[in-house]
Every structure is written in structure tokens, then in C-alpha cells.
Chains A and B, each alone.
Chain A
């Protein structure tokens, strides 16, 4: 049900294709190991097929299916959030809701860190390629080309973090107390209603799980 709701929402937001790709890429490595472990090591009465010393049981396949669906539900939900929410607006709204500016900054810096490092790596790679570094061709050649870039990317990022923290201090970032924010993110009636419904659904899900109404993994 969650998967259906997430995919329907993603379609409405026109990000269904990207959502599917990202979720699959993120989920695949965990899913493969989870499926293998579930199918071949879970005890069961009905053996479907055998590979060497391992029996694939119907119960194991059922469990693997449930695990897979849950993993996809988690990854698609998180990916949908990432694809449809501007991190800066999100953090700003959290601050408006009394989150500490320091915490807000850390949260945002974390969200922005990955694209910033990718951008930095691209620049450094281009600079190194201009100086003759071979970073294309076979996987081995690429690995040989990329490995020397790891050091500069990490070190320059660390240096930048230090300088940036100084620059923030100069701009009174450490001053205690609340800041008056410049703008509010529009919050429409339907958005408010959806949030209330989701919150109620969350409470209901927790209650249902605790009371045994929702089925648990066998």
C-alpha cells in the first residue's frame, strides 16, 4: 500500500522515473544479499529447489518477498522526499519551528555535502585530466585514474570546512538566541490537511503494530 501511495505521489510530482531508478540503485545491493539469505537459509517445510547444500523453501521465498517490498517502501519514501523537497526550504522551515540555527546548519551542510564533493571531484578530475591523468577506458584504468583524486578531494573539503566555519563565526553565527527569519515557506490548507492525515496514519500504524492488528514478519 505504501509503495502504491509513494509511486502515485511520485507520478503526480513527475519524478516517478527518477524515483524508480534511484530506489533500485540504492536498494539493489542490500536486496540481493537479503533475498539470498532469506531464500536459502530460512527453515521451511516446502522445498522449492536446491542449489548444492542449500534448499530454497517456499517460506524463505515468501519472507524474501516481504523483506524486498519493505526495503523498497523505505527507499522510495526517502527518495521521494529527497526529490520533491528543497533542502534549504526544509531546513529553514525547521528553524522557523524552533530548531536551533546551529542544528539547522549542520543538517543543511550534510545534505549539501554530497553534491558539493561531487562538484569538487569533477573540477579536480578535469584539472588532472588536463595534466595527462587517464581516468577513462576500462574499469581498471578508471580506478587507477580516480584513486589519486580521493586525497585532494577529501583534504580540500576539510580545509574548506575550516575556512567556512571561520567565515560563519565572523558573521555572528555563534550568537545565542533566536534569529528573525526573512521569509516563511507558503503552507497551504491542503498541505496542512495531508500532514495531519499522515500524522494520524503514523499513530494508527504504530498502534496497530503494537496491538498485533498489522501482520509481522514471520
Chain B
């Protein structure tokens, strides 16, 4: 379980806090979507939840962040890395720059954990298979497209088999097929008991993936509830978050005087 209690955070050199009194809990096997407009604090919340802020980037934190009951402030970063990983928006900076091939890039994390070679190779192969990267394993990681780099970055995190995964816009550079692959990989991780926090603008991905959605604005949680409830809330649109296509279509049907429930019944989905 990953839990933030009364967390406020201020970056080093800033006079004002960018997160205010955040209470957030991720249970094992739960996928929580994080939405909000630009500059709302999503990336900062991801950094704080991962323990990197303030441990690595400085700043000051009030409140507590705990990993499986243990406060993150008591853990050195390499111990944090054994339990929680974070994927950043820019796949190019996710790359180590020291690996000659995609395979070695993905294997770097397990290697750093000090695992035996056989275990490192097994984890690497598993991550490669999950994201269907077999065709590029011998390629130079510096010569990949943005989408390929993003998939390699995510595979690099999955190979560490963490208990908790935090992803900051993991599909920003992915095409629909790549986005689907990531969705499937995350779903199978959750099924194995991993908790996930996914910050995304693509609400369609979150809609099919998450059990819960947290909306953040101005560094505060403004909505936290089941996915359908949060996405159906008209107030979300006012925050600058575009609801998933399902919700927009249902609204359009209603506004056109049609019965969205009939279509929902026909499609067998949770339309509203």
C-alpha cells in the first residue's frame, strides 16, 4: 500500500507550496488515474509519491508518505527503487545513455538491484514480451522513435518488478496500438498485486483502466472517486479535463434528445 497523509510540498527555492494537504491511498492491485489541467501539480504529486521529492530533488515536505507502512523519508533512494518506480514524461531522459542495446537498457534496473544474471535476463525478457519489443531488442536505444523510447522506458521499469508504479503521462508519445499495449501491461501488473498511479491527459485510457480517478487542481485534490462517477461529473470539464469519448458521446446523445441508455444497453458498457 502506498499512502500520502496530509502531504504538502514546496520545491527548493520556491516560497509557496505546490501541493496542499494531499490525502491519497493506493491499495495493492489498484490502478488510480490522476487527472488535472496543466500546472495543477500532477507531476509534483508523482514525484512526492515516488519518494524522489524531497529525497533527491530537495524541497520541503509536510505530512507523511508511506510505502507498505514504512515512511519513505527513512529509506535511501536505492531502497525506494526496490519498491516503487516512476516513469517520466520525456522518454529520452528516462534512457540511461550507457546501454548499447534496448535489451541492456531494460536490463539495467535489475542489474543495479544486484540480481543474478539469469534473473536479470528472465525479467528483461518478460518486460520485452509484455510490451512486444522483440523486434527492437538489438537496436541502439538512442536511435529509437519517441513512441519506441516510451515503451522501452516503461519496460525498463516493469523489469524491476516493483510493488508500486507511478507513471507520469506514460503514453504521451504513443500511437493507439502502443497505448493499448501499455494499458494491457498495466492491467496485468495490477492483477499481480502492483498498485499503480497513472497521471494522464488521455482519459479514454484511464476510463478503461482505472478503478478510481483522482482530480487535482491548484495542488489540491478536488475529486476522488470511482472512475465512472468522476468522469461523469460535469465539473471535471470546467477544470480543463476532457472526459472520455464515452461520456462525451452520451452527453451529445442526451442533448440531441436521444436515449443514451438504449445505446449503452446495446453496447453492454457502462454508459451514462
Contact = CB atoms under 8 A, between A and B. Distances in A.
B96 A171 contact: yes
A163 B98 contact: no
A171 B81 contact: yes
Contact of A169 (B81, B93, B98, B99): B81
Interface string A182-202: 100000000000000000000
Contact of A109 (B76, B92, B97): B97
Contacts of B56: 165-166, 169
A173 to B, nearest CB: 5
B81 A175 contact: yes
B111 A179 contact: yes
B97 A171 contact: no
B97 A108 contact: yes
Nearest to B113: A172
B72 to A, nearest CB: 13
B157 interface: yes
Contacts of B94: 167
A167 B82 contact: no
Interface in B97-124: 97-100, 104, 107-109, 111-117, 120-121
A172 B82 contact: yes
Contact of B114 (A86, A116, A178, A182): A178
Given A169-B56, A182-B104, A175 B112 contact: yes
Given A88-B98, A108-B98, A112-B97, A180 B111 contact: yes
Contacts of B50: 170
A160 B93 contact: yes
A172 B123 CA distance: 15
Interface in B71-97: 76-78, 81-82, 85-86, 88, 90, 92-97
B249 interface: no
B93 A167 contact: yes
A104 B96 CA distance: 12
B67 interface: no
A138 B98 CA distance: 39
B96 A167 contact: yes
Interface string A41-78: 00000000000000000000000000000000000000
A176 B76 CA distance: 11
19 contacts: A88-B100, A104-B98, A108-B97, A162-B57, A164-B96, A167-B88, A168-B96, A170-B85, A171-B81, A171-B85, A171-B112, A172-B112, A174-B81, A176-B78, A178-B114, A179-B111, A182-B107, A182-B120, A182-B121
Interface of A: 86, 88-89, 91, 101, 104-105, 108-109, 112, 116, 160, 162-182
Given A104-B98, A171-B112, A172-B113, 19 more contacts: A91-B98, A105-B98, A108-B98, A112-B97, A164-B93, A167-B88, A168-B96, A169-B78, A169-B81, A170-B109, A171-B85, A171-B108, A172-B160, A174-B77, A175-B112, A177-B114, A180-B111, A181-B117, A182-B117
Q: Which 9 residue pairs are nearest across A and B when measured between Cβ atoms?
A: A163-B93, A175-B78, A171-B109, A172-B81, A172-B112, A174-B78, A169-B77, A88-B100, A179-B111
